[in-house]
Amino acid sequence: MQETYRWGILAPGKIAHKFATGLKLVPGAQLQAIGSRNLGRAQEFAAQYHAQKSYGSYEELAADPEVDVIYIATPHSFHMENSLLCLQHGKAVLCEKPLAINSRQVQAMIDASRQHNTFLMEALWSRFLPNILKAKELLDSEVIGKARHLEVDFGFEAVYDPESRLFNPALGGGALLDIGIYPLFFAVFLFGIPSLVESEAEFSPTGVDQSCRVKLTFASGVTADLWFTLTEHTAVEARIKGDQGEIMLPNRWYQPVNVLTNMGPEPQETIIDFVGNGYNYQALEVQKCLSRAAIESDIWSHQNSLGLMQLMDQIRQQIGLVYPEDGNNQ
């Protein structure tokens, strides 16, 4: 008999709608409760997605004994606070990326997960997507020979609003934490933690990075050029170049339905069996972990999240991006 996992969603914002839509396709998943600082918003969201309960505070959601696992969808700067609340109440946590603002916060969350023996995972959805896994498979099989270079971009033209989560430093705004995490993850997933990091950025009037270029060099000799921006639409493509060809993930590279392998005049196309909107894959991984009473995922572990955040900390130090949460540690 299939076990049922009762989900709660903390903060019914834009990305929470995407997650709730994906959750419908996960076997054994039941959307149980919604928590918001505004009861009306929670009730509206619950009605739309047929959740059983609505709460006008995060504390009430965390305390609900009929909720097993909570997806946290607040802005970056609240991730640690919200995750600790849920972990302290014995709730498994899937927290939207980035897991926190800096590695000090991430470590505190990991410590809490271990202290309470309660599951914690960063909702880095791209780690679980079939096209990303296929690209890694093709790379490891050396269909393009030895890897030499990676190029990834991710950009869109955001409406400038100094109070929005994209540009407000109090909300962890900026290109790096919001979208730069995806190209960085992909590079680390393919080649490991880099041995050399070189970064430069352009800043918005609020003092957060609106565009950033990062060059990574790995111990193997592979290099990567990453570009992410909130100021213009880019190709949103990824190219892994080898000495015998290249693997291309077309627009939008983190969620395409095909992967191209180019080793001559005619690229070979691999069609990806992509289910739902993609948010279902990470929820399924959470339930697999809970079924074996694990407190972290083998696929995207606590150490994976910490290592990625340490890399972003390093980039922020290079470009001079400091958040209120950094205190004297940055």
pLDDT tens column, 49-92: 999 999 999 999 999 999 999 999 999 999 999 999 999 999 99
Taking all residues of the chain, what is their mean pLDDT, rounded to a whole number? 96
Q: Say yes or no to pLDDT of 275 above 90.
A: yes
pLDDT of residue 267: 85
> Which residues are CB-contacts of 30 (< 8 A; sequence separation ≥ 6)?
4, 5, 6, 7
Q: Say yes or no to pLDDT of 130 above 80.
A: yes
Region 157-184: what's the mean pLDDT?
97
pLDDT tens, position by position, 172-223: 999 999 999 999 999 999 999 999 999 999 999 999 999 999 999 999 999 9
| Positive or negative torsion for Cα 275, 281, 284, 285 | positive
pLDDT of residue 329: 46
How many distinct helices (H) and strands (E) make up the chain? Answer: 10, 14
Q: Say yes or no to pLDDT of 46 above 90.
A: yes
Token look-up 């910490």 returns 306
Which residue in 238, 237, 240 sits closest to 222, CA to CA? 240
Region 258-285: what's the mean pLDDT?
91
Confidence of residue 276 (pLDDT cuts 50, 70, 90): very high
Domains and CATH numbers, the chain: 5-126+283-299 (3.40.50.720), 130-273 (3.30.360.10)
Q: What's the rounded Cα separation, in Å, for the pair 48 and 295?
A: 31
Q: Which residue has the higher pLDDT, 255 or 20?
A: 20
pLDDT of residue 225: 98
Q: The pTM is what?
A: 0.97
pLDDT of residue 23: 98
pLDDT of residue 264: 73
Which residue in 269, 282, 248, 281 sits closest to 153, CA to CA? 248
Region 133-145: what's the mean pLDDT?
96
Helical H runs in the chain?
Answer: 14-23, 39-49, 58-63, 79-88, 103-115, 130-140, 175, 181-191, 279-291, 302-319
pLDDT of residue 141: 96
Using DSSP's 3-state secondary structure scheme, residue 158 falls into coil
Region 272-282: what's the mean pLDDT?
95
pLDDT of residue 306: 98
Q: Say yes or no to pLDDT of 93 above 90.
A: yes
Query: Chain-centre distance of CA 135, in angstroms?
Result: 18
pLDDT of residue 327: 82
Q: Say yes or no to pLDDT of 330 above 70.
A: no
Region 97-109: what's the mean pLDDT?
98
Give percent of the chain with pLDDT exceeding 90: 95
Q: Are 151 and 224 in contact (CB under 8 A)?
A: yes
Give percent of the chain with pLDDT exceeding 70: 99
Confidence of residue 328 (pLDDT cuts 50, 70, 90): low
